[in-house]
Amino acid sequence: MTDSGGPILSVRDLRKTFTMHAVSGRTVTSLDGVSLDVGTGEHVAVAGASGAGKSSLLRCVYRNYLPDAGTVTLALEDRAVELTALPDRQMARLRGRELGYVSQFLAAPPRTGPLQHVAAAARRRGLAPPEAREAAVAALRRLGIDEPLWEIDCSVLSGGERQRVNLAAGVVSPPRLLLLDEPVSALDPANRERALELIEDLAGVSVLAVYHDMQIIRRLAGRAVVMDAGRVVAEGTPETILAQHHAALEEVA
Ligand SMILES: Nc1ncnc2c1ncn2[C@@H]1O[C@H](COP(=O)(O)OP(=O)(O)OP(=O)(O)O)[C@@H](O)[C@H]1O
């Protein structure tokens, strides 16, 4: 399971249930036995209606959520590691060069501007400070975040600007496996196109991404999985998936 052609990511029988203590202990199952692989260099899209469990899947892979059961195996250059059982410090180390996650929300520390935030991501991936700054400038420019915004506190940016800064931090000096959760959902058409081109150009990076737009899935993904009620209910090329699950996907198309 190394770069010799096997999957970079193998998810097996992942389960996650939340207990709502404030609502009489009611439980919500977000993942009900999810298994999937992402091949090295492959772009796999996750589709499905709201609440199907797509974000939970990405969060369990990145270990923002610890699953109740199941395994998440990441192939490194020389060995495979099972992420659900990994000590926190080792997991933190992998969240640099190996594994990146672009969530739906920008989580920059207070009083941090876009340039500092994106350069810090590049540094976590091993770049020296001057190279990290240069890479951050290039990523921000490419996504249309121009110099007047570079030092402004991220918390005052618009929703679309925040999403682009978030994406810039995800793709700068990219990790081997990138998790993207609706990375262009808040963007106007011109900025959306810039972002899609940037994602398209991520040569050699393996991607597991949630998209709500079937046109984007067709354009970017080699394979798509459809989730419903915490399960994978279909898997195939975007064309096959769209043909077979047209009705179910209308809501996300
Ligand atoms: N931290 C949490 N606490 C309680 N319930 C949660 C939590 N995270 C997710 N859930 C529940 O798990 C289910 C799946 O949520 P999830 O966010 O994974 O869906 P999704 O497919 O990503 O939806 P969307 O497309 O709307 O983002 C939902 O019913 C949600 O309310």
Q: Which residue has the tokens 């990405």?
A: 58
pLDDT at position 250: 57
Taking CA atoms only, the protein residue closest to ligand 1 atom 16 is 53
Whether residues 80 and 180 fall in one domain: yes
Whether residues 10 and 71 fall in one domain: yes
Whether residues 52 and 161 fall in one domain: no
Backbone region of residue 7 per phi and psi (left: phi > 0; alpha: psi in -120 to 50; beta: other values): beta
Prediction ipTM score: 0.96
Q: In angstroms, what is the span from residue 134 Cα to ligand 1's centroid?
A: 37
- The domain that holds 210 is classified in CATH as 3.40.50.300
For the beta sheet containing 69-75, the strands, ordered from the edge strand earlier in sequence to the opposite edge, are 26-39, 7-20, 69-75, 80-82
Whether residues 5 and 87 fall in one domain: yes
Q: Which of 174, 197, 229 is the last residue of a domain?
A: 174
Q: Which of 121, 151, 174 is the last residue of a domain?
A: 174
Whether residues 131 and 196 fall in one domain: no
pLDDT at position 253: 46
Q: Which of 126, 159, 174 is the last residue of a domain?
A: 174
Q: How many helices (H) and strands (E) does the chain have?
A: 9, 10
Give the C-alpha separation, 26 to 37, whole Å.
32
Whether residues 120 and 42 fall in one domain: no
Q: In angstroms, what is the span from residue 58 Cα to ligand 1's centroid?
A: 11
Q: Please report which helix (H) or strand (E) contains residue 180, including its range.
A: strand 177-181
231 SS3 class: strand
Whether residues 76 and 13 fall in one domain: yes
Give the C-alpha separation, 196 to 202, whole Å.
10
Report the nearest atom of ligand 1 relative to the CA of 212: 25
> Residue 221 sits in which domain range?
1-98+176-253
- Give the tens place of pLDDT for each residue, 51-103: 999 999 999 999 999 999 999 999 999 999 999 999 999 999 999 899 999 98
Whether residues 163 and 214 fall in one domain: no
Tally of structural domains, the chain: 2
Whether residues 94 and 20 fall in one domain: yes
Strand partners, 223: 44
Whether residues 187 and 154 fall in one domain: no
